[in-house]
Structure formats: C-alpha cells, structure tokens
C-alpha cells in the first residue's frame, strides 16, 4: 500500500525501515521524521501524516522500549 505519494513510500518501506532502525538501536524512539530520514526521503505536502503514523503504530517494533517506559511518572511525582 502506498502511504506517501509525494515521496513514494509504501507501508512495506516503513516496516523495513523500522526493523532496521530497531536492530540498529534497540532503545531508540522511532518517529515519522526518523523513518523519512532512514529512507533518504522528505515529506512535501504532509497529507500522509495520519496514515503514516497509523502504519507506524501498527508496527510491533515501534513501541516505547521497556527501558524508557515509566520515566515520566517519577518526575511528575517530584514536581508535586
């Protein structure tokens, strides 16, 4: 399925980039911008953003790494 018509990115390209990024950095956060850079492309119109994010969210490798989960809660407690 074509996700981004401007940059000609398919959902399979996104999944391949995510797998490569996760293998290269198991603890890194994966964002749409990082996926574009990994693919050597740039967004133009932005019309694909919601679909792009949906495809990213559906990928099992884009979750927040366990080591980074729950980091916000202690800081919130300290501020109170």
- Which stretches of the chain bind ligand FES, using CB under 6 A? 4-7, 43-48
Residue 41 CB coordination number (10 Å)? 16
Q: How far is the CB of 49 from ligand FES (least distance, A)?
A: 7
Q: How far is the CB of 32 from ligand FES (least distance, A)?
A: 10
- Contact status, residue 35 vs residue 73, Cβ threshold 8 Å: no
Nearer to ligand FES, 31 or 64 (CB): 31
| Residues composing the chain | 80
Q: How far is the CB of 47 from ligand FES (least distance, A)?
A: 5
Helix (H) or strand (E) segment spanning residue 9: strand 9-10
């Amino acid at each position: 399925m074509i996700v981004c018509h401007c940059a000609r990115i398919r959902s399979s390209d996104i999944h391949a980039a995510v797998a490569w990024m996760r293998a290269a950095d198991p603890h890194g956060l994966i964002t749409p911008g990082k996926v574009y850079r990994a693919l050597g492309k740039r967004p133009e119109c932005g019309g694909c953003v919601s679909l792009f994010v949906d495809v990213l969210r559906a990928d099992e490798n884009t979750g927040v790494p366990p080591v980074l989960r729950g980091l916000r809660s202690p800081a919130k407690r300290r501020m109170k």
